[in-house]
Amino acid sequence: MSKTPYDILIRPVLTEKAVKLNEKEGKLVFEVPLDANKIEIRKAVEEIFKDKKVKVKSVRTMIVKPKPKRVGFGPLGHKKRWKKAIVRIEAEEPINIAEII
């Protein structure tokens, strides 16, 4: 089964930093599967925002290192590592990151 665009873009990252990137540089930040590649991500973004005629200029990805986290007492555990994709787009009107779900 082929991956749908929604399989690739797990969720938008909604943080202060992401909003700043969104507002100032017209970038969108997503969480993506660890095995997703940049081409897939580009296609997925263009597919999802196709009614807004979004052209993706560039995709950058990174793997976010797991943060140490201790749950109550006991040994130190950690959060999952995950892949973050920063997509630079060109659109007719800016896309507000807070409004996409």
Partner 1 sequence: MVVNLEEKGLVRIITVEEDGKEISKLIKDVIKEIKKNVNIPGFRKGHIPDSVVRAKYKDAIKEEVAKRFINEKFQKIIEEYNLTPVSPEISFGDVELNGDKLKLTLSFEVAPEFELKDYKGLEVEIAKREVKPEDIEEAINRLRNQYAKYEPADKKVENGDKIKIHYYIETDKGETEEDNFEVVVGENQLRQEIEKEILGKKKGDEVEVRDVPLFNEKGEEFGKATVKVKIEEVYKKVLPEFNDEFVKEINLGENVDEAKKKIEENLKKSIELAKNTEIENKITEKLLNENDFELPQSLLKAELNYLIQEYAKQLESVGVKPSQDMLMAAVPSLEEQAKKNVKLMFIVNKIAELENIKVDDEEINKEIEEMAKTYNATPEQVREYLEKEGLINNIIYGILKKKVYEFLKENAKVKEVEVKEAKEENIEETEKEAKEKKTEGKKKGRKSKKETKTEEEKSEEQTKKKKRGRKSKKKEEEDKS
- Residue 93 sits in the site that holds partner 1 (CB under 8 A): no
Exactly one of 3, 4, 6, 14 binds partner 1 (CB under 8 A); that residue is 14
CA distances from 14 to 68, 74, 84 (A): 21, 31, 12
Q: Which is nearer to partner 1, 24 or 76 (CB)?
A: 24
25 near partner 1, judged by CB under 8 A: no
Smallest distance from partner 1 to CB 21, Å: 12
By CB under 8 A, tell whether 19 contacts partner 1: yes
**Which residue blocks in 1-101 are alpha helix, DSSP H?**
5-8, 16-25, 38-48
CA distances from 89 to 22, 26, 45, 59 (A): 10, 6, 9, 9
Of 71, 74, 45, the residue nearest 58 (C-alpha): 45
| Contact pick of 35, 51, 92, 99 for partner 1 (by CB under 8 A) | 99
- Contact positions vs partner 1 (CB under 8 A): 13-16, 18-19, 23, 96, 98-99
